[in-house]
Amino acid sequence: MRTRLLATAGALGLATVALTAGPASAADEAQLSVLHGVPGLTVDVWVNGERTLDDFEPGELAGPLDLPAGTYTVAITAADAADDSAPAIGPVDLTLEASTSYTAVAHLDASGDPTATLFTNDTSTTKPGEGRLTVRHVAAAPGVDVLAGTDAVITNLENPDEKVLNLPAGTVPASVVATGTTEPALLGPADVAVTEGTNTILYAWGDATADPSTLALATQVIEGLHSDPTAVQAGELGLVAESGSATVWPFALGGLVVLGAAALGFAGRRHAAATR
């Protein structure tokens, strides 16, 4: 679902994402977050020539910012640059569609060069009781597998790709390993919360070739994607059923309850509780 655009500025690979319309959000606006995933480099972020994030530190996540849909030119410079004429990353054009959530990530490519990737966040509604886990590889590292326990739930994820999983809410003991292996863990094991109604986006960022490794995890959460249970089915026997119109409350419950319960052989204390 992603098309890749190579920016004119040499080493830069910018991936932009074809749009999957998100549900309900401000009709004309896009939501943009920015993650800094380049180790050891404090930067300024310039948008359309304006310094918009100053002294942005590795591991920091900024946003979300509601922006009118449109195309924005983004450049990333060393901190406190006088202007954006000598960017370390970019300039790149980010096209943001209305009602869509994005995260722009400044990170290293697989070979360790700074780059930037625009991801589209999946904000579609989750099923009742489920959460969404998105894993993004933005580290200077080869392809990885993500293990849940000892099972590979994601295989050969490469920089700058992502994988989206919809899972029952709960906790997944996850670790990241070089693809095709089970150890050593490059990251983890760590308990990853799959939160109901939330897209939990995990970024593996940093540099696996650094000594010591600067690989790390960053987390972004997008909440409010939940859907409600489809029903509340809170009775199994019909022992306290009422006949007739739904607007009429029962009056002769006691006899009905005793008969029904006796027929089914419930203990005496249940009768007492129900008929008092």
Partner 1 sequence: MARRHLPPTRALAGVLAGGLAAWLLAGCTSDSPPRTAATVSSAPARPAPAGTDAPGPGPTGTAAPAPPGIPVRDATAPAPTPAPAPVRLAVPSQDIDMAVVPVGVEDDGSMQIPADADEAGWYRYGPAPGDDEGNALLAAHVDSRQTGIGPFAALRDVEVGADVRVTTADGTTHEYRVTRVEKIAKDQAPLDLWFARTGPPLLRLVTCGGAWHADVGHYADNVVVTAEPTGG
Q: Closest distance between partner 1 and the C-beta of residue 154, in Å?
A: 20
- Shortest distance in whole angstroms from residue 142 CB to partner 1: 22
Rg (CA), the chain: 26
CA dihedral 257, 258, 263, 265 (to 10 degrees): 110
- Shortest distance, position 213 Cβ to partner 1, whole Å: 15
Q: Measured from the CB atom, is 246 or 252 closer to partner 1?
A: 246
| One-character DSSP codes across 131-176 | EEEEEEEEEES--EEEEETTEEEEEEE-TT-EEEEEEESEEEEEEE
149 versus 224: smaller Cβ distance to partner 1: 224
Nearer to partner 1, 119 or 203 (CB): 203
Q: Based on CB atoms, which residue is closest to partner 1, 44 or 122? A: 44
| Amino acid, single-letter form, for residue 109 | D
Complex with partner 1: residue 66 or 158, whichever CB lies closer: 66
Residues 6 or more apart whose CB falls under 8 angstroms from that of 4 comprise 13, 14, 15, 16
Degrees, nearest 5: CA angle 79-82-87? 60
For residue 116, the minimal CB distance to partner 1 (Å) is: 16
Least CB distance to partner 1 at residue 180 (A): 28
User: CA-to-CA distance for 216 and 220, rounded, in angstroms?
Assistant: 14
